Amino acid sequence: MTTEPLIRVEKMSFAYRPGVNVIHDIDIAIEPGEFTAIIGNNGSGKSTLMKLILGLLKPTQGRIIVGGIDTRTAKVSDMARRIGFIFQEPNEQLFANSVEEEIRFGLRNLQLAETEIEKRVNETLDLFGLQPLRQVFPRFLARGDKQKVCIAAIVAMHPQIILLDEPTTGQDHRDSRKIMELAETLNARGITVLLVTHDMPNVAQYARRVILLNDGVLVKSAATLEVLADQALMQSCSLVPPQITRLGLALQPLGFRPALKVQEMATQMAHWLDQRQATT
């Protein structure tokens, strides 16, 4: 048996209105266990692509196969068994009168047995450190915690893939880091993570692969550093690499390598300082 990618996008185009393509003929293969970021400008089609993968929108041309299922014929509520889509705005999802009810909602929709539901609710509350808040009305939580509840509600459904749509928009550094670390933990547990964002430092820090879209065209799909350190390419898509990557590039004549994380650069720099000290 040849290994089939978890998500296969084949010669896919999409138009909201006939003749006006927002996505042009793209091919993507996502393997199980990936942590991949989809980046691009406002209007590049990245959020549309996510909706297509979940089946909320259907391709105008080509097809998308997720875990062997063609999204064109599948129902979204069935796709939701495999894909956990976490929308940007918690206030457009939270409705139950307690955190635990919020988590139970998806599980009930999956028509699991009551004992299984209770087991998963508890597991998830533990995993997310939400036990103390289990009875709280989710709308009263701070924004970061609301987002956490939304992710918990999806993770409880045991999806193979998690799609995060701009999860850190409007969040402060502390909350955004918590959310990204959570995504990293889930990825380490074997869940495939797809992240749509314009937060380049987070892409650099967490994603292993980057898919770059511009005006609905797939411009590049490669390892994170390869994309972010290609300044000409990034600029042509009106994107700015993280400061630390730009610094690494600027210091290449001194023997530095472009880096993705502050820590990487700090290590290089400490090493460089050691060498300089040794020579003087």
Partner 1 sequence: MITELFGPLRGIDARVKLAWLLATFVAGVVYTSIPSLLVVLATIAAVAIFGRVFIPVVVKLKGLWLIVIVIGLIFSLTVGGETWFYLIPTWVPWIGGSLAVSREGTILGIISVLRMFVFVLPVLLMVATTSNSDMLRAFMFLRMPMEFALMIVLALNFVPLYIDEMGRIADAQRARAHSLMDKGALGKMRGMIPIFVPLTLNAVDRADTIGKVLEIRGFSRRRFSIEFDTPSTASWLFLAFCGLLLAVALASALLKQDLILNGLHSLAASLGL
Partner 2 sequence: MPAQEAVITLEEVYYKYPTSQDWVLRGVNLEIYRGEFLGLVGTTSAGKTTLCQCFNGLIPHYTLGTFSGRVLVEGKDTSESDVASLSGTVGVVFQDADAQLVMSSVLEEVMLGLTMRGMPGRQARDKARHMLEKIGIPHLAERPPYALSGGQKQRAAIAAVMVMRPKILVLDEATSELDSLTVHRIFDLCQELNEQGETIVLVTHEMELLSQYADRIVLFDAGQVLLQGPPRQVFQQAETFQRVGVRLPQVTELVQSLGPRLATETLPLSVAEAQQLIEGGSGDH
Residues at the contact surface with partner 2, assessed by CB under 8 A: 41-43, 142-144, 166, 169-175, 198, 200-201, 238-240, 242-244, 246-247, 250-251, 254, 262, 265-266, 269-270, 272-273, 276-277, 280
Closer to partner 2 by Cβ: residue 4 or 274: 274
The secondary structure element, H or E, covering residue 51 is helix 46-54
Three-class secondary structure assignment of 85-149: EECCCHHHCCCCCCHHHHHHHHHHHCCCCHHHHHHHHHHHHHHCCCHHHCCCCHHHCCHHHHHHH
Counting contacts by CB under 8 A, is residue 91 touching partner 1? yes
Contact call for residues 94 and 138 (beta carbons, < 8 A): yes
Q: Which stretch binds partner 1 (CB under 8 A): 3-11, 102-110, 194-202, 217-225?
A: 102-110
- Look at residue 223 and give the partner it binds from partner 2, partner 1, none, a contact being a CB closer than 5 to 8 Å depending on partner kind: none
Q: Which stretch binds partner 1 (CB under 8 A): 11-19, 25-33, 150-158, 260-268?
A: 150-158
Counting contacts by CB under 8 A, is residue 227 touching partner 1? no
Q: Which stretch binds partner 1 (CB under 8 A): 38-46, 91-99, 217-225, 244-252?
A: 91-99
Instruction: Quote the least distance from Cβ 158 to partner 1, whole Å.
Output: 11
Structure-token pair, residue 251: 């210091």
Among residues 190, 192, 191, 232, the alpha carbon closest in space to that of 212 is found at 232
Closer to partner 2 by Cβ: residue 121 or 239: 239
Counting contacts by CB under 8 A, is residue 84 touching partner 1? yes
Q: How many residues does the chain have?
A: 280
The distance of Cα 39 from the centroid of its chain, to the nearest Å, equals: 10
Question: For the stretch 206-225, what's the b/e string if a residue is b when 16 or more beta carbons lie within 10 angstroms of its beta carbon?
Answer: bbebbbbbbebbbbbbeebb
Counting contacts by CB under 8 A, is residue 189 touching partner 1? no
Counting contacts by CB under 8 A, is residue 109 touching partner 1? yes
- Look at residue 188 and give the partner it binds from partner 2, partner 1, none, a contact being a CB closer than 5 to 8 Å depending on partner kind: none
Counting contacts by CB under 8 A, is residue 76 touching partner 1? yes
